[in-house]
């Protein structure tokens, strides 16, 4: 299959070709591998490749994605017998012995996993520039980031390597790279997709799904994977048996609240402001009512609570490497920022973590009062700025030196807590829009509606009430019909 034909189909379309006998699954695998050979040396999106027999055989006829090539993010889901590094030196030799629940469901859906994608160490950052693999690059402009943490997956889909790739979202890690790479990125409601065999990663902030070029691929992937696994910490919200079958239904006239500023009080880049204004005009033209509505957030409180959970989770992840590898964690096995965050996490008290979790629950209650009675959905920028240049958010030499010094001397807990407060504001400067919906568990998506004068995509975020996944997907399908984006691809390779 020639690339021009291969890339003209989404995952649903390719599966239809396989089921109809018009193409063999192996032809699709060959096309995906040829595309990796052509563009990956520039993009560094794929960091591990293997025979697709290890990643799933063609499923029985009728599987929704029968025979379609797929890439797995190198941390959100285990594939038995294949290394899962989370982009960390500490796990470079760790091989899980069982599939995670999501991966098992991907394989049951007929997807054939041909490799793994780049991400930041433990998914911490909104860019994908790990020391272990080097930076993933944006196919719209390789000098810029594809975002993070699912940056490698986003770059691979945007570059036409695969039509769909796995992703996970703990603070925007689906929506941020979707925005940066001109893709559709949907974060499901908390509990709608499984996280097993892990217990409750990152205290409920994690949602796992896919990055796609079409809304129907995202909906069909949700059909194939939705539903809690046994012993899950959260019940799956009520949802239709088929999200895909609901996409053609016309969305009722919605009352859409819009925030035109950053959630943390930081000015939006003019291009991101323009993206929001463009989306407002489009939604109004479709018959929806758009009203100004600012989320009831206290920026410093939100940022501190979020980073408190992140630091505690990173500390736990660092300690968990010992159980996986038998090696005691040490600074030389981790990036300096990761180790510093783990130090902060170790210094936090039980009360600190409880208050952060309670803040998340309180905001879930607070927003739950407004979504429905006051607004149906909420519109904002997906990020505060266009995709940044590679290395722009990297630590400078003084910061690296300071963190290196802290690795070898004891630091008082009070000092580390103060560092957390400073880090909260700095680390979210470019990407402050997404974290709150992980904390509340609400579904949210990034729509690829805007490209700036530098030919860089900028997404807009739409969020709904907890469990309103079907409503968001139907709205996305309506917008996609009004302004199709699937064939808008970067010119690379």
Q: What is the pLDDT of residue 397?
A: 46
pLDDT digits (tens, 9 = 90+) for 29-43: 999 999 999 999 999
The pLDDT of residue 56 is above 70: no
Instruction: Give the mean model confidence (pLDDT) for residues 357-366.
Output: 97
pLDDT digits (tens, 9 = 90+) for 423-468: 666 678 899 999 999 999 999 999 999 999 999 999 999 999 999 9
Catalytic option among 25, 128, 149, 179:
149
Helices 336-347, 413-427: axis angle to 10 degrees equals 130
The DSSP symbol for 396 reads P
Domain membership flag for residue 87: yes
Torsion sign (Cα): 331, 332, 333, 339: positive
Q: Burial code of 95-134, b = ≥16 C-beta within 10 A, e = fewer?
A: ebeebbbbbbbbbbbbbbbbbbbbbbbbbbbbbbbbebbe
Q: How many CA atoms lie within 13 A of 136 on its CB side?
A: 37
Domain membership flag for residue 314: no
Instruction: Identify the CATH number of the domain in which residue 13 sits.
Output: 3.90.1300.10
The pLDDT of residue 74 is above 90: yes
Q: Is 173 designated active site? A: yes
- The share of the chain scoring above pLDDT 70, in percent, equals 92
Domain membership flag for residue 378: no
Catalytic option among 73, 187, 304, 430:
73
Residue-averaged pLDDT of the chain:
93
Domain membership flag for residue 95: yes
CA angle 119, 159, 280 (to 5 degrees): 85
Confidence band for 300, pLDDT divided at 50, 70 and 90: confident
The pLDDT of residue 398 is above 90: no
Domain membership flag for residue 453: no
Domain membership flag for residue 207: yes
**In angstroms, rounded to a whole number, what is the distance separating the alpha carbons of residues 172 and 263?**
13
Instruction: Give the mean model confidence (pLDDT) for residues 211-215.
Output: 98
* Residue numbers of the domain that contains 17: 3-253
Q: Which tokens go with 340?
A: 């510093």
Number of domains forming the structure of the chain:
1
pLDDT digits (tens, 9 = 90+) for 89-132: 999 999 999 999 999 999 999 999 999 999 999 999 999 999 99
The pLDDT of residue 17 is above 80: yes
Domain membership flag for residue 276: no
Q: What is the pLDDT of residue 193?
A: 98
Catalytic option among 173, 189, 380, 382:
173
Does residue 368 or residue 56 have the better pLDDT?
A: 368
Return all residues near 93 (Cβ < 8 A) that are at least 6 apart: 83, 325
The pLDDT of residue 395 is above 80: no
Q: Is 150 designated active site? A: no
Spell out the alpha helix ranges (H) of 111-186.
Answer: 151-158, 175-181
Q: Is 149 designated active site? A: yes
The pLDDT of residue 136 is above 90: yes
Q: What is the pLDDT of residue 420?
A: 67
Domain membership flag for residue 450: no
The DSSP symbol for 124 reads -
- Asked whether 214 and 195 are in contact (CB, 8 A), the reply is no
Q: Which tokens go with 95?
A: 């091989």
Q: What is the pLDDT of residue 72?
A: 97
DSSP 3-state of 280: helix
Q: What is the pLDDT of residue 424?
A: 63
């Amino acid at each position: 299959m020639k690339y021009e034909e291969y890339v003209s189909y989404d995952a649903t379309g390719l599966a239809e070709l396989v089921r109809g006998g018009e193409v063999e699954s192996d032809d699709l695998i060959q096309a995906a591998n040829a595309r990796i050979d052509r563009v990956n040396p520039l993009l560094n999106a794929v960091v591990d490749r293997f025979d697709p027999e290890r990643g799933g055989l063609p499923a029985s006829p009728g599987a929704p994605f029968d025979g379609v090539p797929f890439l797995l993010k190198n941390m959100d889901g285990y594939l038995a017998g294949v290394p899962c590094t989370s982009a960390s030196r500490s796990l470079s030799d760790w091989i899980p012995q069982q599939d995670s629940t999501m991966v098992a469901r991907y394989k049951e859906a007929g997807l054939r996993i041909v490799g793994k994608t780049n991400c930041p160490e433990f998914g911490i950052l909104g860019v994908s520039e790990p020391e272990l693999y080097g930076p993933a690059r944006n196919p719209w402009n390789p000098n810029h980031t594809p975002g993070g943490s699912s940056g490698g997956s986003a770059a691979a889909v945007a570059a036409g390597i695969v039509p769909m790739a796995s992703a996970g979202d703990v603070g925007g890690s689906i929506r941020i790279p979707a925005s940066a790479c001109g893709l559709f990125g949907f974060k499901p409601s908390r509990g709608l997709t499984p996280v097993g065999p892990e217990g409750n990663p990152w205290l409920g902030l994690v949602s796992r799904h896919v990055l796609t070029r079409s809304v129907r691929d995202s909906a069909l992937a949700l059909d194939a994977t939705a539903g809690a696994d046994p012993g899950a910490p959260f019940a799956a919200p009520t949802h239709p048996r088929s999200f895909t079958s609901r996409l053609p239904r016309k969305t009722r006239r919605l009352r859409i609240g819009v925030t035109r500023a950053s959630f943390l009080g930081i000015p939006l880049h003019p291009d991101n402001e323009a993206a929001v204004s463009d989306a407002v005009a489009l939604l109004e033209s479709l018959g929806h009512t758009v009203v100004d509505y600012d989320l009831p957030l206290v920026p410093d409180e939100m940022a501190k609570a979020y980073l408190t959970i992140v630091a505690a989770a990173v500390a736990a992840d660092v300690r968990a490497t010992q159980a996986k590898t038998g090696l005691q964690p040490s600074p030389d096995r981790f990036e300096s920022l990761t180790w510093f965050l783990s130090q902060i996490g170790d210094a936090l008290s039980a009360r600190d973590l409880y208050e952060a979790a309670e803040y998340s629950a309180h905001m879930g209650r607070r927003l739950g009062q407004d979504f429905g009675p006051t607004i149906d959905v909420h519109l904002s920028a997906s990020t505060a700025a266009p995709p940044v240049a590679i290395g722009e958010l990297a630590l400078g030499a003084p910061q690296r030196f300071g963190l290196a010094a802290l690795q070898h001397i004891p630091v008082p807990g009070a000092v580390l807590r103060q560092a957390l407060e400073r880090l909260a504001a700095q680390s979210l400067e470019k990407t402050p829009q997404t974290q709150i919906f992980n904390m509340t568990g609400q579904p949210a998506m990034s729509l690829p509606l805007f490209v700036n004068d530098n030919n860089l995509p900028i997404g807009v975020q739409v969020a709904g009430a907890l469990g309103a996944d079907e409503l968001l997907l139907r709205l996305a399908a309506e917008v996609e019909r009004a302004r199709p984006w699937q064939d808008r691809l970067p010119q690379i390779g």
